[in-house]
Amino acid sequence: MNAILPNSPAARDIAYYVHPQTNLATFRNEGPLLVARGQGCRIVDDGGKEYIDAAAGLWCASLGFNASERLARVAYEQMKTLGYYHTFRQRALNVQIDLVEKLLSLAPVPMSKVLLQCSGSEANDTAIKLVWYYHSAIGKPEKNKIIGRKNGYHGNTVAAVSLSGKPDMHAGFNLPLPMMRHTEFPHYYRNHEDGESEEAFATRMAEALERLILAEGPQTVGAFFAEPVMGAGGAILPPAGYFAKVQAVLRKYDVLFVADEVICGFGRTGNWWGSQTYDLKPDMISCAKALSAAFQPISALLINDKIYQAMLSVGEKGAAFAHGYTHSGHPVTAAVALETLRIYEESDIVNHVRRVGAYFGGKLAKLAEHPLIGDARGVGLVHGLEMVADKKTRRPFEPMGKAGAILDRHALRHGVIVRVVGDRIAFSPPLVIDEPEIDEMLRRLRLALDDTLGDLSAKAA
Ligand SMILES: Cc1ncc(COP(=O)(O)O)c(C=O)c1O
């Protein structure tokens, strides 16, 4: 980090801004990485250094970091025509109608209605409220516990973070909420027993879920939330057979299933939805991020007719659906999302992801020969590498996260940004990435891995 000059943007940032998901003491000493502009899959800092962002920012910048003229114009025209109006109390906007109709036509399973919000957290918070609303409307209000997974991530609002299985995000905040439960982390590579197949491991995971439901009492368990591929948990793929077994348990105990497609939705796994990649049959689907290629803050919750009919029955008894936000269905966010979906269709983004994803996976399999890498797996354009102290025994580094922190620093120095989760390296590059950019990204990453190995070996000597 460069010296922080008085009154520089970095000094003013330290003086005035609280950065999310940041160690405030480290930040106060080191200051920010000041991002000045974006160009395709790259960002450029205020000193002119460029970085390939292998994480698409926060798994979201699907079309890269600078909007096309076409997308920018849509936002501009919408702002001039109708820059804001709300959708409370029966107000509607053409662009919001077009967007929800489009989303329903793309849904992986029959869905009935859409609710719009501004973030993945809000979409999941809305889903959590609807789990309670639904069960209350059908006369089972006691079915109010919701199960997430250890290391699952569903956002940072009070309810969504409670459902997330991230103890560091609960600590100090008096969370999680008391009705949230967390079942096992289905990380096959790290947690399988010697000789245990993926299928057998998946059975063990589904049995753990069933035991939890039985221990709580099925009459008290309302829903289960899962990401098709766990993102913030470290780009963890479901083991073979996992979702088939889990969904059988949910059906057995009449537990709603909510698929959190905030990362997986819109092509990330090589299909429009992760639900298609893993044959999920959710009652509700939350999505955000790539919905607008991250150029506008918008999220959606798709609900099936069973949920909607229960909600409608409340209206028939005379009560309003008392939920919503000032910006629900905001016209500029909706216009950009709609145009983003058109761009995906016109550019056949799903087939592009399949093609470059296969190329990327092949390159990562080669990189897994590196002495630090114990495991490489992925689907579409979401992949994870796990660094280990011993490749044969899968022995992790002690303490966990030490190698990851070193790698993170070297990667930045070599001009590649990856998402490090403990000692896992998660990749979710912009969906528009091509083969030459993948090669350059992995060339930089290999340099960072070599430097990390050098540091770790020097420390061990
Ligand atoms: C799977 C998943 N769900 C929900 C969220 C929360 O989305 P947001 O940060 O837009 O609130 C995230 C964010 O990374 C996510 O990865």
In angstroms, the Cα distances linking 457 to 375, 402, 451, 461 are 20, 13, 10, 6
Q: Which pLDDT tens digit goes with each residue over 103-145?
A: 999 999 999 999 999 999 999 999 999 999 999 999 999 999 9
pTM: 0.98
Q: Which pLDDT tens digit goes with each residue over 257-284?
A: 999 999 999 999 999 999 999 999 999 9
Tell me the CATH number for domain 33-66+349-460. Answer: 3.90.1150.10
- pLDDT band at 1; cut points 50, 70, 90: low
Q: Closest Cα to residue 300, out of 314, 313, 284, 321?
A: 284
Q: Where in the chain is the domain with CATH 3.90.1150.10?
A: 33-66+349-460
Q: How far apart are the first and last CA of the chain?
A: 28
Among 126, 227, 289, which residue has the most ligand 1 atoms within 8 Å of its CB, making it the best to mutate?
Answer: 289
Task: Tell me how far the alpha carbon of residue 89 is from its chain's centroid.
Answer: 32
In angstroms, the Cα distances linking 50 to 35, 111, 347, 372, 387 are 9, 43, 27, 26, 26
Nearest residue by C-alpha to atom 8 in ligand 1? 120
In angstroms, the Cα distances linking 65 to 50, 271, 295, 298, 419 are 12, 22, 9, 17, 17
- pLDDT band at 43; cut points 50, 70, 90: very high
Q: Are 241 and 198 in contact (CB under 8 A)?
A: yes
- Tokens 């997330």 belong to 164
- CA 154 to centroid of ligand 1, rounded, Å: 5
Nearest residue by C-alpha to atom 4 in ligand 1? 154
Q: What is the mean pLDDT of the chain?
A: 97
- CA 268 to centroid of ligand 1, rounded, Å: 14
Residue 353 CA to residue 6 CA, distance in Å, equals 45
- Backbone torsions φ then ψ of 56, nearest 5 degrees: 50, 50
Q: Are 218 and 250 in contact (CB under 8 A)?
A: no
The answer to whether the CB of 154 is under 6 A from ligand 1 is yes
What is the DSSP secondary structure assignment for residue 292, as one 8-state letter? G
Q: Where in the chain is the domain with CATH 3.40.640.10?
A: 70-346
Question: What CATH number matches the domain at 70-346, 3.40.1350.10, 3.30.420.40, 3.40.640.10, 3.10.20.70?
Answer: 3.40.640.10
